[in-house]
């Protein structure tokens, strides 16, 4: 096991408010984490630190054996495959789907002067195929539906063969079929020993892919509970996270939750 994340007392202050408070968390390379918590809990802020887009105000964040604040973040960013709404918003709408995926090798959005090897093109094609987007390679990104964009973003996040994969609400906006297809692809990825560590933020326990191993529950910038999925994703911990009684069920490795 290799530690890919080691956070110690990570705090992020904005104005008078600590939007992350004293977060200590470790992730191993075999782990597949789901991150749950109410709107504003700090999930995206935490993922921005993981993706080397944001530094803690205090505490130490080690990402892939580099300490934020003491390392070249541009190099580090390419090693973390990140899919988030904020990144998607920066993709030029006229860019082709294939270029959106390929440009991830260089940590940029929008194709400028980079040269691509045939091997890059093959990898982009294979990833688009894996997410059911082969027929869209030549389409302009801006013309895609929400669900199609999400799939392209996950393919893009995997393009640079990342050592850590971070997906911030990858299933948001997907229809039922699209969600299940994405979850099937993520389950396959999670079960593959060659896959990097995976962190996935979601609002719905129904979206936890089978074979995910750990859960991080957050509220008001703090960790409520963190650990192996089976023992940490409990009704009591969900109640502490969401401030209401929750009924949780599990069948065949898939979860469902509702107010109790
Ligand atoms: N630059 C900033 N200045 C002030 N407050 C901020 C800033 N960035 C984020 N916040 C606040 O920090 C809190 C956490 O935001 P974050 O986006 O991390 O939440 P989240 O858990 O991802 O929520 P959601 O589920 O809605 O995506 C929110 O209350 C947000 O308004
Ligand atoms: Mg968020």
Tell whether 53 is covered by a domain: no
Our count of domains for the chain comes to: 1
Question: Is the residue at 110 inside a domain?
Answer: yes
Is 119 a domain residue? yes
CA distances from 169 to 34, 38, 252 (A): 10, 13, 23
- Tens digit of each residue's pLDDT (9 = 90 or more) over 29-79: 999 999 999 999 999 999 999 999 999 999 999 999 999 999 999 889 989
Residues with CB under 5 A from ligand 2 (ion): 43-44
> Is this prediction's pTM over 0.85?
yes
Give nearest CA residue, ligand 1 atom 31: 40
In a domain, 76, yes or no: no
Mean pLDDT of the chain: 93
The finding on whether 43 has its CB within 6 A of some atom of ligand 1 is: yes
Q: Is 46 domain-assigned?
A: no
Question: Which residues contact residue 26 at a Cβ distance below 8 angstroms, ignoring those fewer than 6 apart?
Answer: 3, 5, 6, 7
Residues above pLDDT 70, as percent of the chain:
96
Q: Report d(CA 133, CA 56) in Å as an integer.
A: 37
Strand pairing partners for 80? 164
Task: Convert the pLDDT of each residue in 78-101 to its tens digit.
Answer: 899 999 988 888 899 999 999 999
Take atom 24 of ligand 1 and give the residue whose Cα is closest: 39
Q: Where does the pLDDT of residue 119 fall: very low under 50, low under 70, confident under 90, or very high at 90 and above?
A: confident
The candidate with the shortest Cα–Cα distance to 187, out of 164, 214, 209, 165, is 209
> Is residue 87 a part of any domain in this protein?
yes
Model confidence at 113: pLDDT above 70: no
Note down the domain range covering 120. 82-161
In a domain, 136, yes or no: yes
Closest Cα to atom 12 of ligand 1: 19
Q: Is residue 129 part of a domain?
A: yes
20 lines ligand 1 (CB under 6 A): no
């Amino acid at each position: 096991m290799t530690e890919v994340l080691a956070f110690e007392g990570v705090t992020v202050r904005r104005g008078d408010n600590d939007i992350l408070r004293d977060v200590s968390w470790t992730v191993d390379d075999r782990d597949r984490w789901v991150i749950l918590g109410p709107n504003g809990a700090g999930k995206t802020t935490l993922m921005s630190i993981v993706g080397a887009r944001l530094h803690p105000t205090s505490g130490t964040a080690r990402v892939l054996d580099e300490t934020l604040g003491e390392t070249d973040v541009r190099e580090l960013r390419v090693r973390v495959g990140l899919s988030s709404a904020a990144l998607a918003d920066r993709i030029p709408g006229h860019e082709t789907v294939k270029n959106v995926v390929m440009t991830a090798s260089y940590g940029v959005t929008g194709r400028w002067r980079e040269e691509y090897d045939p091997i890059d093109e093959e990898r982009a094609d294979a990833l688009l195929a894996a997410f059911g987007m082969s027929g869209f390679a030549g389409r302009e990104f801006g013309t895609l539906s929400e669900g199609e964009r999400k799939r392209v973003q996950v393919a893009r996040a995997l393009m640079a063969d990342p050592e850590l994969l971070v997906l911030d609400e990858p299933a948001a906006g997907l229809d039922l079929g699209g969600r299940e297809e994405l979850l099937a692809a993520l389950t396959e990825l999670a079960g593959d020993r060659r896959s990097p560590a995976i962190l996935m933020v979601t609002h719905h326990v129904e979206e936890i892919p089978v074979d995910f191993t750990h859960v991080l529950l957050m509220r008001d910038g703090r960790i409520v509970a963190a650990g192996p999925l089976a023992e940490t994703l409990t009704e009591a911990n969900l109640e502490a996270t969401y401030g209401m009684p929750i009924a949780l069920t599990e069948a065949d490795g898939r979860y469902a939750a509702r107010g109790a």
